[in-house]
A and B are shown apart, each in its own frame.
Chain A
Amino acid sequence: MQQNTDTEKDLQTRELDAICVNETPLEHEWYHNLKYLIIGILFGIVFVKSEVVSWYRVQEMFRLQSFHMYGIIGSAIITGMISIFLIKKFNIKTIYGEPIKIAPKTFNKGQIFGGLIFGLGWAMTGACPGPLFAQIGTGAIVVAVTLLSAIGGTWVYGLLREKLPH
């Protein structure tokens, strides 16, 4: 019983205004994570080849000078939407036979304040978190400083969390 409440508390902390949290009773060996590594690699290649990770493309987007980024994000959303619709309609399960669960998001003011703050940073660095990793991969080692700073920003948010309006 005690263990159950602990697991639940742990899940709640992880779910705290977070994304990509899924609890599963299944235990896997570490090498099952390699499939995420492979998807990450493919994803990183798409990022670089489509120039999503380019500082210039981000500047064009925010100056409304190019359709490129809007086209990518827009068509990605439509693809994702159709996929989730199909998963739900046909009750598609994971490869381990589990039902697919997606946690709903609840509104809080952080989405407004944090969203604006992230927007400012996105236009400065020309990268959201994903592209930061890809940019370092392309040999722009100095971007590691930006990444470390982003980790610092996340840490400071964790520190101040209780004092911020949500």
Chain B
Amino acid sequence: MLEFLKQPWAWYVAGPLVGLTVPLLLIIGNKSFGISSSLRHICASCIPANIPFFKYDWKKETWNLFFVFGIFLGGAIAINLLSNPASIEVNPKLAKELADYGITNYDNLIPEDIINWQSLFTLKGFILMVIGGFLVGFGTRYAGGCTSGHAIMGLSHLQLPSLIATICFMIGGLIMANLILPIILSL
């Protein structure tokens, strides 16, 4: 059983489990699935700075902070107790492309060759981690949700705005990965 759990999980196992979070959160406490809001609650609790957007009773949304802290713990449990010693297998085309940018280490879920403390102080690393993170935080709030809130929760609830947002997520990602990221990775 443990050996079975240690293998990478197929999409048709993981997808339905992710989807089941939607009814589970609704049934145990009337909560709509969403993760990016946690970033807003952190702003509201730590640095509200009298900005109207952050002036609300964040304590009523504490559940969301417990939820994301759980995701952090889940990551730690999975990697320490259920990890698979094999390297990550990627599409050979991607591996070939990434090798040109010096990315050859597939030991971890993130590319250690470019995402590490040393590279944080280079232009490439700064753009990927700091600018990239900023765009994630700014964009998700501007859009009113992320992959969980719009793509999964919103589409499950048949919301047209969520479909529009999800299509825009994909367009942004396609543009970045195919047109802009090659330039950044060449820096």
Q: Which positions in A face B, CB cutoff 8 Å?
A: 10, 13-14, 16-24, 30, 32-63, 65-69, 71-81, 83-84, 86-87, 92, 94-96, 98, 100-108, 110-130, 132-140, 142-143, 145-159, 161, 164
B166 touches A134 (CB 8 A): no
By a CB distance below 8 angstroms, the chain B residues around A52 are 14, 18
Cα-based distance from A68 to B31 in the complex (angstroms)? 28
A35, A45, A77, A135: the one contacting B77 at CB < 8 Å is: A45
Listed by A's residue number, 24 A-B pairs whose Cβ atoms lie within 8 Å are: A17-B144, A19-B32, A20-B149, A41-B77, A43-B74, A46-B9, A48-B78, A49-B14, A50-B8, A54-B109, A75-B11, A80-B153, A94-B27, A107-B161, A114-B138, A119-B169, A120-B175, A120-B176, A122-B136, A123-B177, A125-B129, A138-B108, A146-B133, A149-B129
| Range for the number of chain B residues in contact with chain A | 35 or more
Cα-based distance from A32 to B67 in the complex (angstroms)? 12
Q: Which of B134-187 contact A (CB under 8 A)?
A: 134-162, 164-178, 180-181, 184
> Could you give, for residues 105-121 of chain B, a 1 whenever the CB lies within 8 Å of some chain A CB and a 0 otherwise?
01011110001110010
Consensus secondary structure, chain B interface: helix
A18, A34, A67, A142: the one contacting B66 at CB < 8 Å is: A34
Cα-based distance from A16 to B44 in the complex (angstroms)? 14
Number of contacts between A and B (CB, 8 Å)? 542
Cα-based distance from A105 to B148 in the complex (angstroms)? 14
A42, A123, A127: the one contacting B172 at CB < 8 Å is: A123
Q: Which positions in B face A, CB cutoff 8 Å?
A: 5, 8-40, 42-43, 47, 49, 51-57, 60-64, 66-79, 82, 88, 90-91, 93-94, 98, 106, 108-111, 115-117, 120, 127-162, 164-178, 180-181, 184
B47, B66, B131: the one contacting A40 at CB < 8 Å is: B66
B181 touches A33 (CB 8 A): no
By a CB distance below 8 angstroms, the chain A residues around B94 are 56, 59-60, 63, 65
A66, A76, A124: the one contacting B18 at CB < 8 Å is: A76
The 10 closest A-B CB pairs, nearest first, are A119-B172, A40-B70, A44-B74, A137-B75, A79-B19, A114-B142, A115-B168, A153-B137, A80-B156, A118-B139
